[in-house]
């Protein structure tokens, strides 16, 4: 392998170039992964934003048994669980005033609806 001749300056420069080329290729691959990750995060953020914008204005949350109502929420409330479904403004007002359903303590739909106790 080694010709027993000393490395020339040209040999060392060629070796240094290969090292830099290898390091640059690794750094570019890393940067490409970072870009792909960020693109995925941005696409997910856009998808969540679209879903949030399509959320109903008012939600009613059912209890674990599916029959009792627990809270009325403003649409998009983060505390509304998977048992919440969209309702109209009139249904939300009726549930809060006549249906004996509590307003969510986090999003305060009674305040948003202008219902004062």
Q: What's the whole-model pTM score? A: 0.54
Return the half-sphere exposure (C-beta side, CA atoms, 13 A cut-off) of residue 19: 6
b/e sequence 69-78, b meaning 16+ C-beta within 10 Å: ebbbbbbebe
DSSP state of 68: S
> Using one digit for the tens of pLDDT, what is the confidence trace for 32-81?
999 999 999 999 999 988 877 677 889 999 988 878 889 999 988 888 87
What distance in Å separates the CA atoms of residue 57 and residue 23, rounded to the nearest whole number?
53
How confident is the model over 2-19, as pLDDT tens digits?
A: 568 899 999 999 999 999
């Amino acid at each position: 392998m080694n010709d027993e001749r000393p490395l020339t300056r040209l040999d060392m420069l060629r070796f240094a170039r290969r090292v830099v080329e290898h390091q640059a290729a690794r750094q570019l691959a890393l940067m490409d992964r970072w870009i792909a990750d960020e693109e995925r995060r941005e696409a997910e953020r856009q998808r969540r934003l679209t879903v949030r914008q399509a959320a109903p204005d008012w939600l009613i949350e059912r209890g674990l048994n599916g029959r009792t109502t627990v809270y009325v929420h403003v649409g998009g409330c983060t505390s509304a669980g998977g048992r919440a479904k969209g309702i109209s403004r009139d249904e939300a007002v009726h549930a809060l005033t006549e249906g004996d359903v509590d307003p969510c303590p986090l999003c305060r739909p009674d305040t948003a609806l202008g219902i004062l106790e």
